[in-house]
């Protein structure tokens, strides 16, 4: 990086006391490299259980890269060094069964990506691969997940229709339903509403606030209002570094780092 003027004392990173806060996931000294270039340096964050944590920052700041490293989606395209601690396990180590791990840490992507299957199959399919075969069980989980994603009433009569016929907002909620159907602990969302209209966006936000009761949510967003509306904690990324991580209210009203202030008041990014 050309700009090395930033020093650690200009950073403001929240550290939880494990006695008062249950930590669902944390990273220690995370570095991500694409080839030789370093996309993330010093990613140290803790995520509290049953809270929504937002990752904000300008394009190219590394927030998506960071998020995708958390459930090892970057394995084939990048080198990730450092520790990702989940339930006392370093899930970034080589001995981890990545497929099993991803059932605990689910993900929803920027573009809705339903499978070219029916609405029902989109959800039931992964369950069946895990050995849930009874029709009754599947029906139950499909209904519950769609209810949690707040779309059951709209699609309950069309479960056999192709998911690709749904609108963008509905597709994205189906993707959320699909992700929570396998009952992960943690839900990672990579700008889940950026391709959607304002109405769908606010529905997704409501859904996330509902889900918070049972899931730890980490969300990357470009949308400052979105971060302030739904998140409990916010991390500000710039040039591959976390510059500030604090309670969302503090970040937006009283940022400690000048760059954070510049970014949230729209001066750059």
Partner 1 sequence: MNAKRIDKIATGVLYGVAALVVIILVALLGFILIEGVPQISWHFLTSPALAFEAGGGIGIQLFNSFYLLFLALLISLPISLGAGIYLNEYAPQNTVTGLIRTTIEILSSLPSVVVGLFGYLFFVVQFKLGFSIISGAFALTVFNLPILTRSIEEALANISDNQREAGYALGLSRWETVTKIVVPAALPSIITGVVLSAGRIFGEAAALIYTAGQSAPALNFSDWNPFDISSPLSPMRPAETLAVHIWKINSEGIMPDAKDVSAGASAVLIIAVLLFNFLARWLGKRLYKHLTAE
- Site residues, partner 1 (CB under 8 A): 71, 73, 99-103, 106-109, 111, 113-117, 125-126, 129-130, 161-162, 164-165, 175, 178-179, 182
Query: 79 or 256: whose CB is closer to partner 1?
Result: 79
Q: How far is the CB of 139 from partner 1 (least distance, A)?
A: 19
Q: How far is the CB of 103 from partner 1 (least distance, A)?
A: 4
DSSP secondary structure string for all residues of 6-24: --GGG-EE----TTTS-EE
Quick one: which of 191, 246, 200 has its CA closest to 224?
191
Would you state the torsion angle of the CA atoms of residues 90, 61, 109, 73, taken in this order, to the nearest 10 degrees? -30
Would you state the torsion angle of the CA atoms of residues 72, 74, 75, 80, taken in this order, to the nearest 10 degrees? -80
Q: How far is the CB of 252 from partner 1 (least distance, A)?
A: 30
Work out whether the CA dihedral 218, 221, 226, 227 comes out positive or negative.
positive
Query: 16 or 125: whose CB is closer to partner 1?
Result: 125
Q: How far is the CB of 150 from partner 1 (least distance, A)?
A: 20
Query: 165 or 209: whose CB is closer to partner 1?
Result: 165
Query: 20 or 97: whose CB is closer to partner 1?
Result: 97
In sequence order, what E strands does the chain have?
12-13, 23-34, 37-48, 52-56, 79-86, 89-90, 105-108, 186-190, 216-220, 233-238, 241-247
Q: How far is the CB of 126 from partner 1 (least distance, A)?
A: 4
Instruction: Please state, in angstroms and rounded to a whole number, the distance separating the CA atoms of residues 188 and 71.
Output: 8
Query: 108 or 204: whose CB is closer to partner 1?
Result: 108
């Amino acid at each position: 990086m050309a700009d090395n003027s930033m020093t650690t004392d200009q950073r403001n990173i929240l550290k939880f006391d494990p006695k008062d806060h249950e930590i669902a996931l944390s990273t220690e000294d995370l570095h991500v490299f694409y080839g030789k270039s370093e996309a993330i340096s010093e990613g140290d964050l803790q995520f509290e259980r049953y809270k929504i944590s937002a990752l904000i920052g300008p394009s190219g700041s590394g927030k998506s890269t960071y998020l995708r490293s958390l459930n090892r989606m970057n394995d084939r395209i990048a080198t990730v060094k450092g520790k990702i601690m989940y339930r006392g396990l370093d899930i970034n180590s080589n001995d981890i069964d990545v497929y099993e791990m991803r059932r605990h840490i689910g993900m929803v992507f920027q573009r809705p990506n339903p499978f070219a299957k029916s609405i029902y199959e989109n959800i039931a399919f992964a369950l069946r691969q895990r050995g849930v075969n009874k029709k009754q069980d599947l029906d139950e989980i499909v209904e519950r997940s769609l209810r949690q994603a707040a779309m059951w009433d709209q699609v309950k009569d069309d479960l056999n229709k192709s998911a690709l016929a749904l609108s963008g907002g509905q597709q994205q909620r189906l993707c959320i339903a699909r992700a929570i159907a396998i009952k992960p602990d943690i839900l990672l969302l990579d700008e889940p509403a950026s391709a959607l209209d304002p109405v769908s966006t606010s529905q997704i936000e409501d859904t996330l606030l509902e889900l918070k009761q049972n899931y730890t949510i980490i969300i990357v967003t470009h949308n400052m209002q979105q971060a302030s509306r739904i998140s409990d904690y916010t991390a500000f990324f710039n040039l591959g570094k976390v510059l500030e991580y604090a309670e969302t209210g503090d970040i937006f009203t009283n940022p400690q780092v000048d760059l954070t202030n510049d970014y949230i008041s729209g001066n750059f990014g």
